[in-house]
Amino acid sequence: MTTIETPLLIPNRSARAAGVTAFRALLARDLHVLARNLREFIPRTLLQPLLLVFVFAYVFPKIGQGIGGSGAAASAFSTMLVAGVVGLAVLFQGIQSVALPLVTEFGVTREIEDRVLAPLPVDFVAIEKITSGALQSLFSAIIVFPIAYFVPATPVHLNFHWLILLTLTPLACLMCGALGLMFGTVFSPRTLPMLFGVVVLPITFLGCIYYPWAALAPIKWLQIAVLANPLVYVTEGFRAALTNAPTMSLWVIYPMLIGLTALFTFIGLRNFRKRVIA
Amino acid sequence: MTASTTTDEVIVTENLTKVYPGDILAVDGLDLSVHRGEIFGLLGPNGAGKSTTAGMLTTRVLPTSGRAIVGGVDVVAHPAQAKRLIGVVPQSNTLDRALTVYENLYFHGRFFGMSSKQSKTESLRLLDQFRLSERAKAPVLALSGGMAQRLMVARAVMHRPSILFLDEPTAGLDPQSRIALWEILSELHGEGQTILLTTHYMEEADQLCHRLAIIDHGRMLALDTPERLKASVGADTIVTISTDTEDREAFATRLRSSIPGATGASAIDSGVRLEVQGSHGVLPAVIAVADEAGVAISDLRLDEPSLETVFIKLTGKDLRE
């Protein structure tokens, strides 16, 4: 046994500096786990978009059952689908990388009890979850993009609007991380199947993945109803960033993404606090 | 912030109170003072308020009123700062399941601001000290209960906390792991570590703790060294008399007045408990009194006063109930 003669191993610094260090270390831990689990992360991230693009933009045109017609119309559909697929990947990642682990850490392993003892304010433990989720969403967008671009049987014509792409992508990723935090603090292991069956399913089917929002005009009530779906602003935003197709106004997309990020963060933090501090 | 603490006090609470929603009074005006270098125990039955007290001291439970100062820091006003000064071993296994045994320590060091190199060196040293080196690369799920507990203690002391909290540290451990943990705690104490533990095991409290607070219904009933608490019973022998006689109260009263040196007697479920100062000749005397009273005795036992005796004297009930 050695005796403690070295006074303090942890540097004697301000609470703020210690908090920043702890935040970074929590993030490093998450990325370390991500890197270790890449063999699971990649297939789980790629498979759904791959199947989606494969069936809708490869199989259907080939067998002449083209959604969106044939020739130029089919090509327009493939182009339109890119934004939807990337948006879907970002949303799924936000939920998978934040909500699922949180539900387990709260409900099964109680690991969260240790994580909140890290030397930073509890709110920042939750904000770290959002940040980590956003980074993983970004990563999944990057690896899904080539699939959406190369798999379709008909050519994809993208027009990059870089300013939109570079501002919208982080915003969409943050919103999905915040959504993951909110879901992670609302659902329990028992109710988790509801998250996918009842919440995520309608979000993805009615998230303007397969059609632009404007195309819903003939079904006015649906066009209005889907405005409650956060994914709509992500897919429409990516569509505005990647194509010249008509989309929802950016004056709606940006404020909505910012507003929803704030709302989900607010609810997520409030629930998180309630669950870790009695 | 440090107004009411001296350098020798690691924990000070003043009138610390917690009322949970539904008017459940879990901790009722607790005043504690834990000194540097001691092993302090909170002893009480389940639901006495021990874990709530530990929760308030470790920033996990917000006090309804009162103050708690840990390492000179007000835990309510500055929780993030307080967290740097405490090490916590909770009741349940909170190890990071996504990491290996070694990584659990390594990242803990990083959370607390150690450099990568420092954290690595310190993790390896602790794995060695806590006899976990062979399991360094194992996932934590592969650890036995005792090993997981040792790893949690290693993690909790890694950042050299001013005080180490353990909440029911040996609940659910097999006897061998329990003794191994006691040894580890004694070693840490030898290194100067201040420790606060909650327990409902009297042996644990008796064996490990320098001072004990006996708690029931959120109130502190007694605070002293285990020896002095036991001495406070005012008897050196406890005679437990098993009998199925109907009127145990009357028999207790009769014993109290007839046995030389008897300092107290009370009816218990299985018979009567008699406290005696000076055990010489007490057994024949008890049997004689029983004969006179026409009470049939099925068993007789002599014990030294234990913390359980103290607890029964204070609360009128058994700690195991």
Tens digit of pLDDT for each residue in B267-303?
A: 888 888 888 887 788 888 888 888 888 888 889 888 8
- The reply to whether A29 falls in a domain is no
Q: What is the mean pLDDT of residues B26-41?
A: 93
- The reply to whether A66 falls in a domain is yes
Q: φ, ψ for residue B164 (rounded to 5)?
A: -105, 125
- The reply to whether A16 falls in a domain is no
Write down the architecture of domain B7-94+142-224 according to CATH: 3-Layer(aba) Sandwich (3.40)
Residue A89 makes CB contacts below 8 A (sequence gap 6+) with: A45, A48, A49, A137, A140, A141, A144
Are the C-beta atoms of A230 and A204 separated by less than 8 Å? Answer: no
Distances (CA, A) of B169 to A114, A260, B88, B191: 15, 44, 10, 19
Chain A nearest-CA residue for B87: A117
pLDDT per residue as tens digits for the range B67-101: 999 988 999 999 999 999 999 999 889 999 999 99
pLDDT per residue as tens digits for the range A101-158: 999 999 888 899 899 999 999 999 999 999 999 999 999 999 889 888 888 888 888 8
Measured CA to CA, the distance from residue B213 to residue B2 in angstroms comes to 24
- Supply the pTM of this predicted model: 0.86
State the best of B51, B111, B188, B193 to mutate against chain A, taking most chain A CBs within 10 Å.
B111
Start-to-end CA span in chain B (Å)? 41
Contact B60 A121 (CB under 8 A): no
State the best of B84, B151, B187 to mutate against chain A, taking most chain A CBs within 10 Å.
B84
Start-to-end CA span in chain A (Å)? 38
pLDDT per residue as tens digits for the range B197-222: 998 888 888 888 999 999 999 999 99
- The reply to whether A159 falls in a domain is yes
Residue spans of the domains in chain B: they are: 7-94+142-224, 234-303
Chain B nearest-CA residue for A37: B98
pLDDT per residue as tens digits for the range B126-140: 999 899 999 999 999
Which residue among A10, A29, A111 sits closest to B113, beta carbon to beta carbon? A10
Measured CA to CA, the distance from residue B279 to residue B48 in angstroms comes to 34
Give how far B212 is from chain A: nearest CA, Å. 25
Contact B160 A10 (CB under 8 A): yes
> How far does CA B211 lie from the centroid of its chain?
10
Q: What single-letter amino acid sits at B103?
A: E
Q: What percent of chain B has pLDDT over 90?
A: 50
Are the C-beta atoms of B31 and B89 separated by less than 8 Å? Answer: no
Which residue among A3, A9, A15 sits closest to B114, beta carbon to beta carbon? A9
Structural element, H or E, at residue B28: strand B24-35
pLDDT per residue as tens digits for the range A252-262: 999 999 999 99
Q: Could you tell me if residue A201 is left (phi over 0), alpha (psi between -120 and 50 degrees) or otherwise beta?
A: alpha
State the best of B83, B86, B103 to mutate against chain A, taking most chain A CBs within 10 Å.
B83
Are the C-beta atoms of A239 and A212 separated by less than 8 Å? Answer: yes
Sequential DSSP letters for B202-226: HHHHHHH-SEEEEEETTEEEEEE-H
Contact A121 B98 (CB under 8 A): no
Which of B162, B179, B178, B160 shows the shortest CA–CA distance to B170?
B178
The pLDDT-based confidence of A161 (bands split at 50, 70, 90) is: very high
Cα within 13 Å of Cα(A159), Cβ side: 6
Which of A45, A44, A53 shows the shortest CA–CA distance to A210?
A53
Computed over every residue of chain B, the mean pLDDT equals: 88
Taking only Cα atoms into account, the Rg of chain B, rounded to an integer number of angstroms, comes to 23
Cα within 13 Å of Cα(B192), Cβ side: 10
Are the C-beta atoms of A88 and A49 separated by less than 8 Å? Answer: yes
**What is residue B171's predicted lDDT score, i.e. its pLDDT?**
83
Which tokens belong to A198? 């009842």
**What is residue A8's predicted lDDT score, i.e. its pLDDT?**
46
Range of the domain at A74: 39-275
User: How many domains in chain A?
Assistant: 1
Chain B nearest-CA residue for A5: B191
Q: What single-letter amino acid sits at A42?
A: I
Are the C-beta atoms of A173 and A138 separated by less than 8 Å? Answer: yes
Place of tokens 């806590």: B130
Contacts of A1 in chain B (CB under 8 A): 129, 187, 190-191
CB-count exposure of residue A18 (10 Å: 0-12, 13-18, 19+): buried
Q: Name the fold adopted by B234-303.
A: Alpha-Beta Plaits (3.30.70)
